[in-house]
Amino acid sequence: MKNEVELVKKAEEISKGLKRLSKKSRKVVLPYHSSYDLIDELEDIADSLVSDLKSKEQES
């Protein structure tokens, strides 16, 4: 159960980050370096989420 909560948190972090990058939800343009840093952070979270899901799948 705790693992599922962590998976949901990671997915929510990715969603929030994508919204920060989105033109629709942003009022101010992010500087390029901030955008690149956010993309790197989201890639790390997404990789971690995929890894966690794969290990959960193997446990089943």
**Contact indicator for 7, 53 with CB cutoff of 8 Å:** yes
Number of compact structural domains in the chain:
1
CA–CA distances in Å: residue 39 to residues 2, 12, 49: 27, 15, 15
Q: What is the pLDDT of residue 59?
A: 81
Q: pTM, whole model, 2 decimals?
A: 0.79
User: Residue 53 — pLDDT band, cuts 50, 70, 90?
Assistant: very high
Question: Residues 33-40: contacts with CB within 8 Å, 24+ apart?
Answer: none
Please give the residue range of the domain that contains residue 50.
Answer: 2-59
- For 27-52, write each residue's pLDDT tens digit: 677 787 888 999 999 999 999 999 99
